[in-house]
Structure 1
């Protein structure tokens, strides 16, 4: 932080700005104040959708939208998108330049700016006022509903609720006609900041100039502090008026553009050319371009409902907010930003090893541990706690150091017998010995002596990245080619071949409660049961977003925190256990990155430990830009706020409608699309939604982060749509946004018309019956022929599945008997495949049985299209199909089935359900010479079950002699 070093003395107030270190110490001592360097900052500009980078005004309406006034229109922000409103028939504004925004007592938004344009926004409705014809700098509605307008050259204009206007200029006593600011005090008086000084319009509308001698410079900003003392921001500094109407100088020689006082007593000050200032308890901090502010000219300030601070500058919008993660970098005093290892001492300190040294962070204070006398590069790769509070330090090029009592007490290098000088893992054992994992194998230090406990040739790879010893003495060695177990002088390797070909093992965590050793690898999270030695993988097929996982930490709330190259994953420990033991097949996770306070989402791995749990419950992670920490208990703060939700758009067959009214749609309306937004700005990309269309759906439908929903082919009738929003782990919106609409019926869908049709049909039936009876007497022979034809058709239909049009089970049984006889007679192979649609129950549960039926028909059509002419395809029942493949070897049948599987997987179901992918699991068996056909079905069913167990979307063949 840069500290504004202005120190002035005046009669009433003494402001002496201390040095940066003193200021930081004072802020750190105050639990209610977060130092500016611990805020997470973000910025938006025209690149992100703003119409102009100069932000003249900021406001937040009660519905939750943020509004930004710019020279090219007013921008409405929902957290993800800017909607621009400029000069148009909708707004009624004479020009797009917006200078002032203000919220009225009833929650309406006032918009004012160039050419005297004035508009009031209520919901989605715009109402414009007759323009003044001159630039309006500020707009305000006072406590008795009078509209006040500060103009550039024509003084102040007051508009009464009846529409009449009164003007105040220099002729009425203003210091100047160029007015920059307006403020209503607790007595209902209007303070006016002009280019020539300060004016007061009292309750009798009389104008005076208090402090005319002291304030003869432009007044840009007016506000009141918590004690209702007037604050005056001028070109020459910041002033305050106390309750005895005495004027005092708070800050001198600071051109103040805007003010934001807060209930805590904190005062935010936007300046003309010096960035953003924060004044609290006589301490001043500054944020400028050097610290990331887009521009040093600050024109607008707003604290939103989620307690974020929005700053309008000449270079775009800037936001300061609290974030889940705090990151320590070189700016806070780290030796280097490229952090390879972090380790808690389980007291008050955390050790941070980086590419340029070792730091100790105790209670937020960073101190460097100088290793230069023993490590030339001071590049630290690994850490471990030794006995009697000592520290073992592994380096990149200088071997391993033993550090105790503030000094290096021992140093081991390759010249001393260490396997290599690149040390990536250290294990301090209970017996006082220390295992050292290097890039060239394993070394043991005991009583100061070096030895090689395991020959490098016995390891799958000598490149060791992680070490762990369990309570029963087994030592697990993580390397670049898997995991080895060293016990009782013997080494064996764990078999990862069935675990998605995992190789690199980056870290170990022992889960004592579950008696499991968790391993982070390059193919996901591997669980090793310490009792049965069974292995299980939680990986991509279970929903994990990445293959490569570096370090796992189990927090005090029983969540997993896992570092990766692409962010930090948080998932439930219980869910991971449920997957390991087959109780569920999908994992749910949260992914944290730069938007959550991390300087970089890229965590570092390949050294140990790359993440650590501190004694206060916080999780520390080594990243490519600093050491990041998160306090899991604080996450509830970010989900405690329930974001309001709004309906932004309703489209019926592409035509937009306002959602604030009951909408009557024409008959034949086919496609209804609704767009909505949760107006939360802390984690907008993580806001979850649920919707319900009353009249079509019986319960809420979870939409995840989807911000729109579509309905097609709705029947005529009345509908009511609801949408609610929440942050992850937070509550749903107490008041759902809603809109009602109705679809008119066609003429033939109206009850009266349908009644007439029924009557007409009845008359026609009677006429037809009479004609038919007469015709039967004349055409008895013809009728018998027709009956015979119909009977044949019904017999054919009895052999078909009514939904898919495929052969049914009866027809398949006949075909199977025929093929069995032919296979035995001609000594030809016969294969049978059972096909099952994966996760089909979820289709029915999530999108209804009608959608499920459509999926079945499309899958059946795809199978029928790509089956061979010689094969017999039938629907076996439910979501299962069966295929007989005569004169086909098991290998050829496997090829045919795999082709069918891929054809189904590549089939698009977008017209039914967007982004839906359907896959098949296929079990395949071949007829045995002594089989009567029943065993063939049993073998295929067993193979299908094996395909399900192997993860689905696969073909498994079973060729077992009986």
Structure 2
């Protein structure tokens, strides 16, 4: 997935309000021509292409094409339609028409030619727009008949698109205009008054009108009158016209991209602005309000992102913004390397106030306006529409690089790389000229005071009147003319203090070792950082949002942590802190949020959190983010496997006797931030509590005792409540003969009878048979021990390959991870997945699939001199441990991948070749062994998304593609 971000502030009236993402065949689509898009009632998104139908769950595409499973006559798919009971109708080349419901596909009557569009109407009937053959209609009862005869309309005309209005009327767009269709009255052409001849598209407007895309513009038809929708589009071929849930109109063109109209404003999105191709084939608005556009060059989504960004294109003086300051009402001051700007948050634009200075810092000015600190031009102030240098003060500065400013009660404090300067108000008899409001009174340095360092980076006053000073060598506060330095030796030797946040009783500091809390009551310092789960060290600014969260800026995006959890970690009543991470995929133009001067982030009166970044000013409205994250999260079961064999969970819920492994693949179908969806599962009958799965959407259980179980899945976005929509799947594990209770009872009775007989026999012949009895007891004991040993081996060994199973690997990996971390040795964990394994099963049989797994297992077993442990993880996945650095690990695993790709498998299936994808993570980048596996799993997903047959390493390590 690649994201192209357009600057925006949300007014819901322009294309620039949307965050743009694109997908192509390189991201998993079967083909780049997206002929139709639909969403079934379970929440899946579907894309029709010339190489089959692709199902999307927010993270990956799954393709369905011609074959016995789908019953498609041809993979080329042109039309999609949905029904109320989770049905999906797919039609296309050779008149192929199928219906999917749940996990099953059903073949439907074949149309006489290419199906251009399909419509499932309000009564359950199915309408088909057919190339060169007009319209075909199947009544609901006909869809289950073997060879029904449809009712046809205008059967010599090519029809392209269908729609049904709220009043039940059906219309068709054809090469001869628009027709109204009726089962009683046939096809009635609408009068166009020579406006156009060919109609490509027809849809319904919110006001009950008919919207038509034609070879000559877009038109509205209402009350028997035709009016153009947009004069700018006249004389253009309009391939699509729709009205979204917000009332805006969308127009697809033949070669000029997409057009959008809100009110009377029309703007365009084409290949120059991020559109993958200028020919628009399809359009769809999903359940979350995102707009999907299908082109000849892939699919595009336009959605409202959590973050919006304002750049030079929107009026900023420059994109490299170092400081932001909330002003009155809806304004924000922005200081960039190219000048000073003022932003209107509501209007979503900015105006340049000065473009000849490089701004480092900002602060409110007591007399009105703002103080402006610059890179090498000293101190300025903005007042009554003009920017003026503070010449008198600048003459007294030891350095004209001003990184922090604060003004309070007649005193101005200026932070520079050469110390802290204090300016006080002049005597009352001195004229208060704007340039001489203050006079120098004192300079604080590390040489003449206890200032931790001379390089001043941040300044603030807390609610008790203390002046807090952040430097490149620590922090301290000024109290009663004395600077009190803080000792950060127990806070992982923090040095750089980039920003402050103060509240009654506490002062928080953003540092190069996390965030540090100072408690006013006793002066105690407490760190919230890497030891508690934060993945990075350096944070620039702390802003508390109205959502009771701390928003933290960094070089690697924006982070959000729960405010109360942060206090609990600082109080040692909580050991770890959860977080959310936002970057370019969430609407930022650049993940680098600048810091080192003050303030680097601010909060407006309306609650917006605003950040200075290397590519403009980025803001987030926590209430809007909460709305995005409050969308329902429907959960679907993607696959159920018994001992690696996929089953239809709607048709089967019984695992056969002897089943060793049961695995579930599930997904919450939320498309706003799918990578951040978290899961928890519970297997009732085996687990008494929910198991937190993080972002992992696979759960596996081995050696389940016979019995009845219910597998449950719940999902949420971070910091949100767990969804009320809980997925449940009930199944049973059949007991083996020896596990059945009646057989066990009979066996027990037989054993009792045998024991009694033996006892009586022993009484009669104790003297003679004592030695024989002892031998028998010994033999029974050995047999029971052997059986116990067999059970223990079976519980840790994969039956198919003879390798260690997941349970054994988990135990080994846990110990190996801890040993490696204690010794400081690098250790790489990898998850290897056989590419397109389902295709091997489908094309060659599951027997061949098992042989492939066994061959790969033997191959990996022979690698034990290089690998410290090998296990079959489940299905077509193996886990490997390699002792070495990430670079050595990549070299080895990439070579391993190449050698597997070169394996000769003719003895299994002629000309069969297999490739593998490998995800790798290191112990030094993981917080614990579970996190290491999660990172390797995420790296494996990256390898799959990048086209498979490659090795990917987790972020923070190098990542390589197939050469």
1:477-526 deviations in whole A, cap 9, x for unaligned?
A: 212121133444444432111111111111111121xx111111111111
Aligned runs of 1:289-300 on 2, under 5 Å?
289-300=271-282
**In the TM superposition, what is the alpha-carbon distance from 1:189 to its structure 2 partner?**
4.7
- Are residue 180 (structure 1) and residue 170 (structure 2) matched? no
- Once residues 651 and 548 of structure 1 are traced to their aligned partners in structure 2, the CA distance between those partners, rounded to angstroms, is 44
1:777-826 deviations in whole A, cap 9, x for unaligned?
A: 46999999x99xxxxxxxxxxxxxxxxxxxxxxxxxxxxxxxxxxxxxxx
Instruction: Kindly indicate whether the alpha-carbon contact (under 8 Å) linking 1:414 and 1:420 is maintained by their aligned counterparts in 2.
Output: no
- Once residues 526 and 62 of structure 1 are traced to their aligned partners in structure 2, the CA distance between those partners, rounded to angstroms, is 48
Q: Name which one, 1 or 2, has greater alpha-carbon Rg.
A: 1
Single out whichever of 66-75 and 566-575 deviates more from structure 2. Answer: 566-575
Aligned runs of 1:717-796 on 2, under 5 Å?
717-773=707-763, 777=767
- Once residues 552 and 584 of structure 1 are traced to their aligned partners in structure 2, the CA distance between those partners, rounded to angstroms, is 20
Which residue matches 1:406?
385
- Once residues 192 and 79 of structure 1 are traced to their aligned partners in structure 2, the CA distance between those partners, rounded to angstroms, is 32
Change (3 A) 1:62 1:604: same
1:129-168 deviations in whole A, cap 9, x for unaligned?
A: 2433522111123344433222222322333443533475
Which residue matches 1:286?
268
- Are residue 589 (structure 1) and residue 571 (structure 2) matched? no
SS at match of 1:576: helix
Which residue matches 1:892?
none
Match of 1:445 among 403, 423, 429: 423
**In the TM superposition, what is the alpha-carbon distance from 1:553 to its structure 2 partner?**
0.8
**In the TM superposition, what is the alpha-carbon distance from 1:384 to its structure 2 partner?**
0.9
**In the TM superposition, what is the alpha-carbon distance from 1:406 to its structure 2 partner?**
2.0
The TM-score, its normalising length taken from structure 2, stands at 0.75
Superposition CA RMSD, Å: 3.8
Which residue matches 1:478?
470
Change (3 A) 1:133 1:491: same
Aligned runs of 1:286-325 on 2, under 5 Å?
286-325=268-307
Which residue matches 2:799?
none
Change (3 A) 1:241 1:555: closer
Instruction: Kindly indicate whether the alpha-carbon contact (under 8 Å) linking 1:441 and 1:455 is maintained by their aligned counterparts in 2.
Output: yes
Match of 1:266 among 232, 238, 248: 248
Match of 2:334 among 346, 352, 361: 352
Instruction: Kindly indicate whether the alpha-carbon contact (under 8 Å) linking 2:476 and 2:486 is maintained by their aligned counterparts in 1.
Output: yes
Change (3 A) 1:856 1:59: closer
Which residue matches 1:197?
177
The TM-score, its normalising length taken from structure 1, stands at 0.75
Change (3 A) 1:400 1:648: same
- Are residue 135 (structure 1) and residue 114 (structure 2) matched? yes
**In the TM superposition, what is the alpha-carbon distance from 1:188 to its structure 2 partner?**
4.8
- Are residue 331 (structure 1) and residue 313 (structure 2) matched? yes
- Once residues 334 and 648 of structure 2 are traced to their aligned partners in structure 1, the CA distance between those partners, rounded to angstroms, is 56
1:920-951 deviations in whole A, cap 9, x for unaligned?
A: xxxxxxxxxxxxxxxxxxxxxxxxxxxxxxx9
Aligned runs of 1:36-435 on 2, under 5 Å?
36-132=15-111, 134-160=113-139, 161-162=141-142, 163-166=147-150, 168=152, 177-185=157-165, 188-211=168-191, 214-243=194-223, 245-251=224-230, 252-262=234-244, 264-365=246-347, 366-371=349-354, 376=356, 378-412=357-391, 416-430=395-409, 432-435=410-413
- Once residues 566 and 509 of structure 2 are traced to their aligned partners in structure 1, the CA distance between those partners, rounded to angstroms, is 12
Instruction: Kindly indicate whether the alpha-carbon contact (under 8 Å) linking 1:134 and 1:153 is maintained by their aligned counterparts in 2.
Output: yes
- Are residue 614 (structure 1) and residue 604 (structure 2) matched? yes
Single out whichever of 592-601 and 32-41 deviates more from structure 2. Answer: 32-41
SS at match of 2:26: helix
Instruction: Kindly indicate whether the alpha-carbon contact (under 8 Å) linking 2:34 and 2:47 is maintained by their aligned counterparts in 1.
Output: yes
- Once residues 284 and 208 of structure 1 are traced to their aligned partners in structure 2, the CA distance between those partners, rounded to angstroms, is 33
Which residue matches 1:461?
453
Instruction: Kindly indicate whether the alpha-carbon contact (under 8 Å) linking 1:414 and 1:421 is maintained by their aligned counterparts in 2.
Output: no
Instruction: Kindly indicate whether the alpha-carbon contact (under 8 Å) linking 1:662 and 1:740 is maintained by their aligned counterparts in 2.
Output: no
- Once residues 35 and 546 of structure 2 are traced to their aligned partners in structure 1, the CA distance between those partners, rounded to angstroms, is 46
Instruction: Kindly indicate whether the alpha-carbon contact (under 8 Å) linking 1:196 and 1:216 is maintained by their aligned counterparts in 2.
Output: no
Instruction: Kindly indicate whether the alpha-carbon contact (under 8 Å) linking 2:330 and 2:344 is maintained by their aligned counterparts in 1.
Output: yes
Change (3 A) 1:911 1:233: closer
- Once residues 727 and 429 of structure 1 are traced to their aligned partners in structure 2, the CA distance between those partners, rounded to angstroms, is 42
**In the TM superposition, what is the alpha-carbon distance from 1:952 to its structure 2 partner?**
13
Structure 1 gaps of 5+ residues are 1-23, 788-852, 867-895, 918-950, 954-962
How many residue pairs were aligned? 787
- Once residues 604 and 492 of structure 2 are traced to their aligned partners in structure 1, the CA distance between those partners, rounded to angstroms, is 33
Which residue matches 1:689?
679
- Once residues 292 and 557 of structure 1 are traced to their aligned partners in structure 2, the CA distance between those partners, rounded to angstroms, is 34
- Are residue 502 (structure 1) and residue 494 (structure 2) matched? yes
**In the TM superposition, what is the alpha-carbon distance from 1:654 to its structure 2 partner?**
0.7
Instruction: Kindly indicate whether the alpha-carbon contact (under 8 Å) linking 2:342 and 2:353 is maintained by their aligned counterparts in 1.
Output: no
**In the TM superposition, what is the alpha-carbon distance from 1:630 to its structure 2 partner?**
1.4
**In the TM superposition, what is the alpha-carbon distance from 1:542 to its structure 2 partner?**
1.1
- Once residues 671 and 593 of structure 1 are traced to their aligned partners in structure 2, the CA distance between those partners, rounded to angstroms, is 38
- Once residues 812 and 333 of structure 2 are traced to their aligned partners in structure 1, the CA distance between those partners, rounded to angstroms, is 59
Which residue matches 1:929?
none
SS at match of 2:319: coil
SS at match of 1:637: helix
Aligned runs of 1:517-916 on 2, under 5 Å?
517-773=507-763, 777=767
- Once residues 916 and 507 of structure 1 are traced to their aligned partners in structure 2, the CA distance between those partners, rounded to angstroms, is 44
Instruction: Kindly indicate whether the alpha-carbon contact (under 8 Å) linking 1:660 and 1:739 is maintained by their aligned counterparts in 2.
Output: no
Change (3 A) 1:507 1:143: closer
- Once residues 880 and 485 of structure 2 are traced to their aligned partners in structure 1, the CA distance between those partners, rounded to angstroms, is 41
Instruction: Kindly indicate whether the alpha-carbon contact (under 8 Å) linking 1:395 and 1:424 is maintained by their aligned counterparts in 2.
Output: yes
Instruction: Kindly indicate whether the alpha-carbon contact (under 8 Å) linking 2:177 and 2:190 is maintained by their aligned counterparts in 1.
Output: no
- Once residues 531 and 476 of structure 1 are traced to their aligned partners in structure 2, the CA distance between those partners, rounded to angstroms, is 16
**In the TM superposition, what is the alpha-carbon distance from 1:855 to its structure 2 partner?**
12
Change (3 A) 1:242 1:858: closer
SS at match of 2:312: coil
- Once residues 441 and 125 of structure 1 are traced to their aligned partners in structure 2, the CA distance between those partners, rounded to angstroms, is 73
Instruction: Kindly indicate whether the alpha-carbon contact (under 8 Å) linking 1:294 and 1:313 is maintained by their aligned counterparts in 2.
Output: yes
Change (3 A) 1:498 1:413: farther
- Once residues 648 and 546 of structure 1 are traced to their aligned partners in structure 2, the CA distance between those partners, rounded to angstroms, is 34
Change (3 A) 1:168 1:268: same
SS at match of 1:87: coil
- Once residues 575 and 361 of structure 1 are traced to their aligned partners in structure 2, the CA distance between those partners, rounded to angstroms, is 33
Change (3 A) 1:440 1:759: same
